[in-house]
Amino acid sequence: MLINKGVAFFYFFTERLIVEVLMSYYKVLGFEREPFSTSPDPKFFYESHEHEVALTNLMIELRLKRGLSVILGDVGTGKTTLSRKLYQLIGAQEGFLSHIMLDPVYSNEETFLTSLTRNFEVEPGNSGVKLLDLKEALERFLFQKGVENNKTIVLIIDEAQKLNEMTLECLRVLLNYETNEFKLLQLVLLGQMELHSKIMNIPNFIDRISFKYTLNPLDENEMRQMIEFRIQQAGYKSNMHIFLDEAIRQIYQHTRGYPRRVNMLCHKALKKLVMKNKFVIDEGLIKEIIDEDIKQGLQWVRQPSVVA
């Protein structure tokens, strides 16, 4: 009986130790922080050629106060991380007032406009007609901040494919506020490809798009650079490559360069590396993870890239 208790305690202690190690596996491997988190941390934003083009053009559009920009892309192409990076860049500069909307689902016009006034700290009037008060308050705000105070007011909407027709019409009306020289509201929409069909059905909306761009997956070389970039950003200082070339090729073949998929697979690979007490990630380890995902029904279906 004592032996059984001792064995049970040993396994319990071992399992706890393994769990604790895996919870901070990145420290075991020489990282200061987790390198392949799927959270949209701007510090881990890798500027591929397409992301650089999108970000540069967005900043130009905002500075020129052109009004409406739309970024499209399949799931996992980096739209959310791009939105956070853009928001960070704007916040670091003078002359901008900005807000980022992460889940743009609203049941009616009043709820949507109330959300905008609150986030931009706009005080509505008291005429007794709330919807009218909200519209007039936003109009006054845009003219005061945009014209009198010479500010650039920016609204970034992530997951913009969730916008319904009513909300898009509200945004269209807000884009009508302008001087002879520029738009008073700068609107950046980032959404999945279905957003394109939504705005195509609103002619007066699509005509206002000043910049439209579609993000595609990374090519193999950019994917390799992204992996190395995130490893360096996480504080890895060794000269030894953790991912062998054969592993990189296998990762690309499986993920097709979609950043989110790459990060998820690399995260699993690092955990497996610790569990197996190995030093490098080779093709066999990646294939093992892929096989496990297939058995668990977690394999990905390749999505076609759509170019704007």
Domains in the chain (CATH in brackets) are 25-41+218-295 (1.10.8), 49-215 (3.40.50.300)
For residue 135, with 0-12 CB atoms within 10 Å meaning exposed, 13-18 middle and 19 or more buried, which class applies? buried
Instruction: For residue 270, give every residue at least 6 positions away whose Cβ sits within 8 Å of its Cβ, in sequence order, or none.
Output: 25, 26, 29, 35, 36, 242, 281
Residue 234 amino acid letter: A
Q: Which of 35, 77, 43 is nearest to 271 (CA)?
A: 35
Contact 155, 101 (CB under 8 A): yes
Buried b vs exposed e over 35-71: b needs ≥16 C-beta within 10 Å? bbeeebbeebbbbbebbeebbebbeebbeebbbbbbb
- pLDDT the model gives residue 14: 45
**Tens digits of per-residue pLDDT, 169-195?**
999 999 999 999 999 999 999 999 999
**Cα angle vertex 293, ends 291, 298, to 5°?**
145
**Tens digits of per-residue pLDDT, 45-79?**
999 999 999 999 999 999 999 999 999 999 999 99
- pLDDT the model gives residue 299: 58
Contact 155, 98 (CB under 8 A): yes
Q: Give the chain's length.
A: 308
Which residues of the chain register pLDDT less than 50?
1-3, 6-15, 17-19, 21-22, 301-308
